[in-house]
Amino acid sequence: MSELDLVRGTLDVLILKSLSGGSLHGYGVARWIKDASGDALLVEEGALYPALHRLAARGWVEADWGLSENNRRAKFYSLTPLGRTQLASEASSWDSYVAAVGRVLRTDPAS
Amino acid sequence: MTNGDGLDEELDFHIARLVDDLRAEGMEEEEAHLEAARRFGDIAAVRRACRRAESTGQGRGGMGMLVDWITRDARFALRQVARRPLTAGLAVVTLAVGVAATTVVHTVVDAVVLHPVPFDDPEGLTAVVQVTPQGRAFSVSAPNFVDFAERQRSFSGMAARRWANHTLTGSGSAETVQGMRASHALFAVAGVDVVLGRTFRPEEDTPGGSTDVLVLSDGAWERRYGRDPGVLGATVVLDGRVRTVIGVVASDHAWPAAELFTPLVADRDGERDNQLFEVMARLGDGVTVEEARSDIVAIAADLAAMYPDSNDGWGAEVMRLEERMVGPGTERLGRFLLAAVGLLLLMACVSVSNLQVVRLTGRLREITLRAALGAGRIRLAVQLVVESLMIAVVGGAAGVAAAYLTLPLVQRVGPADLERLSQASVNGTVLAVAVAAAVFAALVSGVAPAWFLLRREEIQRPGRSARGVSDEGRAVRGALVAAQFALALLVVAAAGLVSRSLIELQRVDLGFEPDGVLAFSVRLPDGAFGREERTDFIRRLLAELEGQADVLDAGASQAVPFASFRPSNFLAASAREPERQQDFLPVSWRAIEGDYFAAAGIRVLSGRPLRPSDYDPGGPPFGVVLDRTAASMLFPDGSDPIGQSVTWFMPGGMKLPVVGVVEAARDEFVDGLPRPRVYVPFAFAPWEEPGILVRTRGNAAALTPVVRSVVAGLDEDVPVIDPAPLERNFSRTVAWPRFTALALLSFGVLCLLLAALGIYGVAAFGVERRRGEIGVRMALGAQPGEVVRLVLRESLRLALVGVGVGLALALPLGRMLEGLLYSVSPSDPVVLLGGALLLLGVALVSVWIPAVRAVRTDPTETLSA
pLDDT in tens, B535-558: 999 999 999 999 998 899 999 998
The answer to whether residue B784 scores a pLDDT higher than 80 is no
What is the least distance, in Å, from the CA of B80 to any CA of chain A? 25
Of the listed ranges B407-411, B737-741, B755-759, B764-768, the least confidently predicted one is B764-768
Greater confidence (B231 vs B795) lies with: B231
**Same-domain status, B697 and B845:** no
**Same-domain status, B385 and B313:** no
Q: Residue B459: inside a domain, yes or no? A: yes
**Interchain contact A66–B (C-beta under 8 A):** no
Give the one of B6, B16, B40 whose C-beta lies nearest to A46's C-beta. B40
The answer to whether residue A1 scores a pLDDT higher than 50 is no
**Interchain contact B16–A (C-beta under 8 A):** yes
Q: Residue B170: inside a domain, yes or no? A: yes
Q: What are phi and psi of B261, to 5 degrees?
A: -125, 135
* Enclosing domain of residue B391: 329-506+736-864
pLDDT digits (tens, 9 = 90+) for B367-376: 666 665 555 6
Contact B49 A74 (CB under 8 A): no
Q: Going from the N-terminus, what domains does chain A have, and what CATH number goes with each?
A: 10-106 (1.10.10.10)
Contact B10 A75 (CB under 8 A): yes
**Same-domain status, B707 and B813:** no
pLDDT given at position B288: 92
Give the one of A30, A58, A74 whose C-beta lies nearest to B57's C-beta. A58
pLDDT digits (tens, 9 = 90+) for B302-312: 999 998 878 88
B-chain CB neighbours of A57 within 8 Å are 2, 53-58, 374
**Same-domain status, B789 and B705:** no
Greater confidence (B17 vs A5) lies with: B17
| Identity at B715, one-letter amino acid code | D
B-chain CB neighbours of A51 within 8 Å are 53
**Same-domain status, B597 and B449:** no
Region B189-211: mean pLDDT is 90
**Same-domain status, B655 and B687:** yes
Element (H, E) at B197: strand B194-197
Most confident range (mean pLDDT) of B56-60, B194-198, B380-384 is B194-198
Closest CA in chain B for residue A45: B40
Q: Residue B115: inside a domain, yes or no? A: no
Q: How confident is the model at residue B759 (pLDDT cuts 50, 70, 90)?
A: confident
B-chain CB neighbours of A44 within 8 Å are 39, 41
Closest CA in chain A for residue B42: A46
**Same-domain status, B319 and B343:** no
pLDDT given at position B172: 59
A-chain CB neighbours of B69 within 8 Å are none
Please, what is the average pLDDT of chain B? 82
The answer to whether residue B589 scores a pLDDT higher than 50 is yes
Burial B384-418 (b: 16+ CB within 10 A, else e): bbbbbbbbbbbbbbbbbebbeeebeebbeebbeeb
The answer to whether residue B716 scores a pLDDT higher than 60 is yes
What is the least distance, in Å, from the CA of B365 to any CA of chain A? 22
Share of chain B above pLDDT 70, in %: 87
pLDDT given at position B865: 44
**Same-domain status, B748 and B825:** yes
A-chain CB neighbours of B54 within 8 Å are 53-54, 56-57
The answer to whether residue B432 scores a pLDDT higher than 80 is yes
Greater confidence (B734 vs B456) lies with: B734
Tell which of B325, B359, B379 closes a domain. B325
**Same-domain status, B174 and B151:** yes
**Same-domain status, B624 and B691:** yes
Specify the number of domains making up chain B: 4
Tell which of B292, B325, B358 closes a domain. B325
Please state the length of chain A: 111
Pairing of strands B624-627, B655-662: parallel
**Same-domain status, B593 and B669:** yes
The single-letter DSSP state of residue B670 is S
Share of chain B above pLDDT 90, in %: 26
pLDDT given at position B542: 94
B-chain CB neighbours of A86 within 8 Å are none
Give the one of B14, B45, B53 whose C-beta lies nearest to A53's C-beta. B53
- Mind spelling out the 3-state secondary structure of B515-530? CCEEEEEECCCCCCCC
**Interchain contact B11–A (C-beta under 8 A):** yes
**Interchain contact B65–A (C-beta under 8 A):** no
Q: How confident is the model at residue B2 (pLDDT cuts 50, 70, 90)?
A: very low
Residue B670 burial (C-beta neighbours within 10 Å; 0-12, 13-18, 19+): middle
pLDDT given at position B294: 94
Element (H, E) at B679: strand B677-681
pLDDT given at position B448: 72
Tell which of B325, B345, B377 closes a domain. B325
pLDDT digits (tens, 9 = 90+) for B523-537: 887 778 888 899 999
**Interchain contact A75–B (C-beta under 8 A):** yes
| Identity at A100, one-letter amino acid code | A
Q: How confident is the model at residue B400 (pLDDT cuts 50, 70, 90)?
A: confident
Closest CA in chain B for residue A75: B10
Of the listed ranges B219-233, B240-254, B607-621, the least confidently predicted one is B607-621
pLDDT given at position B69: 57
Of the listed ranges B77-86, B328-337, B390-399, B433-442, the least confidently predicted one is B77-86
**Same-domain status, B501 and B646:** no
pLDDT given at position B93: 87
